[in-house]
Amino acid sequence: MLDKYKEESQKISVPARLKAETLIKMEEAKRKKQLYLGFKVAFATLSILVVAVVSFQWMQPSYIKTKLADNKVVDEVELEDGTLTYEEIDSLKVFGGGITTKREISEEMATAYIDLQSFSFTDYTLAETKFYGNYKGLDLSFVEVQQMFKNKNKRIEIRCQYGNRNITTNSKIGKHNIFVSYNQNKGKIEYNVYFKEGDLIYALTMNELTQKESIDIITQFLKKFS
Amino acid sequence: MLFKGRKNHISLTCEEVINQYSDTVYKVALNMMRNESDAQDIYQEVFLRYVKNAKKFESFEHLKAWLIRVTINCCNTMFSEKNKKASSELIVDVPYFDKQQHEITYYVQQLDEKYRIAVHLFYYEQYSLKEIAHLLNEKEATIKTRLSRARAILKEKWEEQSDVR
């Protein structure tokens, strides 16, 4: 009996109008879907491009330097006779590499600096001291505190750097192994002293000081680490 | 034109889907709704869902089963919406359910919805008990019982009718 059901059901047909209408609606829905997908892809591509362009520009050294040059801290440095020009400060990088105009100061360095301010070094007056601010956000390992004691051309510079660089030692003050180099350039005498403390490498550059004066300053400085 | 897509997925144009599965969808909808107007609404809804759906089908059988499943879901949704509105059903004569010309179909349409769809899928679409159970989210034994009861009811009605004659 139920076999006849199939036979009867086969006679049922879908109205042609319904088929045609449905087909039109399907095509329309398909177009809308493709349009939506197209927009999505275009938007994603555009977003990626914008991010890429901005990142690329931001990572350019020239862009960074421009930003640094615009920095107020740098602009405020007074370049009087006898002090260093911006270019000279930059050229004084002891360990090379990196940008030297903005610095992050380590806690020890800050403490040492405060102590050196009260250091009784009769012939020298503290003429100018400049910290170049924090440098976070850019992946530079170089950190530095620079101090300039000015009396004519005499100055002391203290810098430090993070890193694994090995220091060759040729002298010792207290428990500290240090490396001392001596330069004489156009009659000017310069002492360079390097030592390592933890992850930091410190460098002291002393111009126009006697050996005794230099050793006094280094000893005073090293006391902070003993 | 039919062709196999990447990863063994089938791909059909809208026209091909309509031509190939119109009857199946429409007849399931008509069988469940017993109303041409509702069946036509469901028919359109099912094919629009096919376009909007991003589902990939592994075979034509998979696609057909999906269409039937969606048709049944749409019918159930319409049933529940009608129940919520508590409206009385508009009785429209469906020519295919005419007792004189389509006697068996007429009796099948007198059955409860759960029996009707089981009979339709088994006798018209030629699905097995297991396949119907999968399509209706029921146990195989439940479908077997429903078919058995449907046959018994139809037999009873058929015999009553024969006696009248």
Query: Mean pLDDT throughout B123-138?
Result: 90
Residue with more model confidence, B38 or A87? B38
Q: Tell me the C-alpha distance between B19 and B60, whole Å.
A: 13
Asked if A33 reaches chain B (Cβ–Cβ under 8 Å), the answer is yes
Say what the ipTM of the complex is.
0.78
Say whether B22 and A23 touch across the interface (CB within 8 A). Answer: no
Element (H, E) at A19: helix A16-59
DSSP A113-130: HHHHHT---TT-EEEEEE
CB A133 within 8 A of CB A73: yes
Q: For testing the chain A interface, which of B27, B33, B116, B124 should be mutated: the one with the most A CBs within 10 Å? A: B124
Two tokens, residue B112 = 């409860």
CB B14 within 8 A of CB A23: yes
Say whether B23 and A5 touch across the interface (CB within 8 A). Answer: no
Query: Mean pLDDT throughout B90-105?
Result: 64
| Mean pLDDT estimate for chain B | 82
Say whether A26 and B104 touch across the interface (CB within 8 A). Answer: no
Asked if A20 reaches chain B (Cβ–Cβ under 8 Å), the answer is no
User: Would you state the pLDDT for residue B55?
Assistant: 78
Residues of A in contact with B103 (CB under 8 A): 4, 8
Q: Distance (Å) from the C-alpha of residue A35 to the closest C-alpha of chain B?
A: 12
pTM (two decimals): 0.51
Please report, for residues A121, A189, A194, the alpha-carbon distance to residue A211 in angstroms, rounded to integers and kept in the order given: 14, 10, 15
Query: Mean pLDDT throughout A110-120?
Result: 43
Say whether B22 and A8 touch across the interface (CB within 8 A). Answer: no
Asked if B51 reaches chain A (Cβ–Cβ under 8 Å), the answer is yes
Q: How confident is the model at residue A211 (pLDDT cuts 50, 70, 90)?
A: low
User: Would you state the pLDDT for residue A107?
Assistant: 47
Two tokens, residue A162 = 């993070």
Say whether B23 and A14 touch across the interface (CB within 8 A). Answer: yes
Q: Which of A6, A21, A22 sits opposite B123 (nearest CB)?
A: A6
Asked if B27 reaches chain A (Cβ–Cβ under 8 Å), the answer is yes
Q: By C-alpha distance, which of A77, B11, A120 is closest to A87?
A: A77
SS3 category, A182: strand
Query: Mean pLDDT throughout A133-138?
Result: 28
Q: Which of A2, A12, A19 sits opposite B104 (nearest CB)?
A: A2
User: Would you state the pLDDT for residue B154?
Assistant: 86
Q: Around A220, how many Cα atoms within 13 Å sit in the side-chain half-sphere?
A: 20
Say whether B151 and A14 touch across the interface (CB within 8 A). Answer: no
SS3 category, A205: strand
Two tokens, residue B98 = 């005419």
Residue with more model confidence, A79 or A63? A63
Asked if A5 reaches chain B (Cβ–Cβ under 8 Å), the answer is yes
Residue with more model confidence, B133 or A172? B133
Asked if A11 reaches chain B (Cβ–Cβ under 8 Å), the answer is yes
